[in-house]
Structure 1
Amino acid sequence: MANNNVIKTVGDFMARAFERDTVPVDEDIFESGFTNSLFAMQLVDFVERQFGIEVDAEDLLIDNFRTVARVAALVERKTARAA
């Protein structure tokens, strides 16, 4: 499981964007209709700036961004490789 701070940061960003109190960690934001391609790019930009990582072309898979948990897992993988 990803770091709780990463989960909270990503979850808070999504909740603000969707004007919700919270976004459940495993809620599929694409299936729920809360996101579109513009938000997906904003999410990538947020993740890169917030966590100081670069999301490479091979990381740009919808499955890496479907849920708070999956985004947090991507961040964890990328930061672990950089360390």
Structure 2
Amino acid sequence: MEEISDGDDLFELGLVNSLFALQLVQFVENEFSITAEREDLDINNFCSIDTLTAFVLRKLSTPTEPPLGHGHAAD
């Protein structure tokens, strides 16, 4: 088996199909306690180790809930 690098496109290499991609999304959501929104379901987020890592890091750094209040101290 040929070695792959973190930047190789797993779909282009034929290592991943659409069914596996759905399983991968579910695994990533469960493993990192994140939610892949509709706009996140872009093959470019999941086609390589590098793009998947960037996706997870981006989701982990994005607040999941808006901050409470309007930036003013509580009365």
The question of 1:32 aligning with 2:13 is answered yes
TM-score, normalised to structure 1, is 0.70
**Cα RMSD, aligned residues only:** 1.6
* Aligned residues between the structures: 63
Amino acid at match of 2:39: E
**Counterpart amino acid of residue 55 in structure 2:** L
- Structure 1 residue runs of 4+, over 3 Å off? none
Return the letter of the residue paired with 1:37: S
Structure number with bigger Rg: 2
Partner of 2:30: 49
Q: Aligned AA for 2:19?
A: L
Q: How much identity, in percent, do the aligned residues show?
A: 43
Judging by fraction of residues, say which structure has more helix.
Answer: 1
In the TM superposition, residue 82 of structure 1 has moved relative to its aligned partner by 2.7
- 1:76 equivalent to 2:44? Answer no
Unaligned runs of 5+ in 1: 1-19
